[in-house]
Amino acid sequence: MSDLKYLFIDFNAYFAGVEQNDDPAARGRPLIVVPLKSEHTMAIAASYEARQFGINRGTSVREARQLCPDVIIRHARHDRYVQVHKLLKEEVERHLPITKVYSIDEWACRLAPSEASRTSALAIGQKVQRGILENVGPSLRSSIGFAPSRLLAKLAAESHKPDGLTALESSDLPHRLEDIRLSKIPGIGPGVLKRLEKAGVTDFMGVWNLQPKQARKIWGSEQGERFWYSLHGYEVYEDDQPEKSMIGHSRVLGGEHETIGGAKVVATALLMKAASRLRHYKRFAGALTINIRMRSGRNGPGGRWGSTRRFPLSQDTYGFLKAIDNLWQSLETQLDDLRDGNGGTRFGNVSVFLHDLALAGDPKIMQGDLFAEQQVSERQQTREKLWTALDKMNADLENRMAKLGGEARTRPPSGRYVTLASQMGLDLNYLGAKIAFSRVPEESEFLF
């Protein structure tokens, strides 16, 4: 008797698939998606046609052109990927409910008991794939796996790409998975892999033959035991709504922003975006962290720098800007320690995070006011209201532009928004919300 309980869908080369789908002339052709305009930036997605030339995620634009002179280069459109994500969800939910969204291109669906047989499950998978291609877009390919647990269903989906349709029942275990590399199994990261090797476990059968308490000891937490049960086909509880712990943005720097001054302009812009999102989520932040990565030199990698400033809980962008000024002064005093092997100080990446968050109405916010002068507190509250009003003005403008231009619209230059003078004319493609592996931004986040 079949014991299939979950369908796991993995959209193949998702970013590249959306770009091909929106441009019929790009369908069936080698294409990569990149984060910014530069011959040195690396692909964040590659179509299957590009992969045939040896082009993959992480291949530089220059190398991609060498491998395939006709490769199409497209700049990432994260807001569009979220829009298509919603269309795909609507289509999938025409066939069965979505249990959990793991990322922009990976979801799990719980099967009903009447759908648990191999024949019924595969029929549902075929309907889902056909519905996507016919109702959403012919370039949006997907692989689907079925299994007794979400982890096993994901492994089934990943076993055949692209366009796979695979069922993995308990009776198929463990022999169907005995050749899989441990590093390819979700839940076995580099740290766990080292601990497994130290315990003498080097292959799938070694992990399979562990006892639950052994797994708990190797993982160093109950997560190891949960992993064991999931791997053996038992359903385990997953927290579907983790609490937001930080709000931030990261940016790979182009050549015009590799200097310390250029990097600060970008860091300031990232901070303003993060502050807008903070207010959107009705959060207050108590700390700001900046992380810097220098570019590599010919004699080795450049340095890294990071620092944090703490302050009373706030939504005030002016206060955050003061904190970033203080952080930047500290950075300037440590530049000598960050030089690469050639003595250069080219900045490669900047990340800005607001954290130590509290929700509006939290007693900690009122407590913080007790330690501030009343005049300062009132001034901060006035500035917070001002920034909230500016957020609304910019969001209203973006909404009007969206209605006028539709999907193919071009984003108005930063000068069309209310912003700092230093940010006027700043062309940083999709500076704000980005799609992370474990988080899909809300469409409203792209209005900031």
pLDDT in tens, 409-443: 444 444 445 555 555 555 554 454 555 545 565 55
Answer whether 46's CB lies under 8 Å from 32's CB: yes
Residue type, 57: R
Query: What is the model's pLDDT at position 412?
Result: 46
Burial class (CB in 10 A: 0-12, 13-18, 19+), 148: buried
Region 316-321 average pLDDT: 88
Q: Evaluate the omega torsion of the peptide bond into residue 174 and state whether it is cis, within 30 degrees of 0.
A: yes
Answer whether 86's CB lies under 8 Å from 56's CB: no
Residues recognised as catalytic: 106
Query: What is the model's pLDDT at position 380?
Result: 58
| CA atoms of 326 and 324, how far apart (whole Å) | 5
Length reported for the chain: 448
Q: Does residue 241 surpass a pLDDT of 70?
A: no
Task: Give me the domains of the chain, ranges plus CATH numbers.
Answer: 1-173 (3.30.70.270), 174-232 (1.10.150.20), 246-447 (3.30.1490.100)
Answer whether 291's CB lies under 8 Å from 73's CB: no
> pLDDT tens for residues 259-295?
888 899 999 989 988 888 888 888 899 999 999 888 7
Residue of 397 and 437 predicted with greater confidence: 397
Supply the mean pLDDT for the chain: 83
Query: What is the model's pLDDT at position 281?
Result: 84
Query: What is the model's pLDDT at position 244?
Result: 66
Q: Does residue 34 surpass a pLDDT of 50?
A: yes
Q: Does residue 343 surpass a pLDDT of 80?
A: no
Region 395-411 average pLDDT: 51
Ranked by mean pLDDT, the top range of 65-69, 218-222, 329-333, 377-381 is 65-69
Q: Which pTM does this prediction carry?
A: 0.67
Region 116-123 average pLDDT: 94
Q: DSSP assignment, residue 297? A: B
Q: Does residue 315 surpass a pLDDT of 90?
A: no
Return the exposure string of 255-279: e unless at least 16 CB atoms fall within 10 Å of the residue's CB, then b.
eebbeeebbbbbbbbbbbbbbbbbb
Token couple for 361 = 């109405």
> pLDDT tens for residues 6-29?
999 999 999 999 999 999 999 999
Region 142-153 average pLDDT: 96
Q: Does residue 378 surpass a pLDDT of 90?
A: no
Q: Does residue 299 surpass a pLDDT of 60?
A: no
| CA atoms of 56 and 215, how far apart (whole Å) | 34
Query: What is the model's pLDDT at position 35?
Result: 87
Residue 162 phi, psi (nearest 5): -85, 170
> pLDDT tens for residues 165-174?
999 999 999 9
| CA atoms of 348 and 130, how far apart (whole Å) | 43
Instruction: Please measure the distance between the N-terminal and C-terminal CA atoms of the chain and give it in whole angstroms.
Output: 52
Query: What is the model's pLDDT at position 426?
Result: 54
Residue of 256 and 430 predicted with greater confidence: 256
Query: What is the model's pLDDT at position 20?
Result: 97
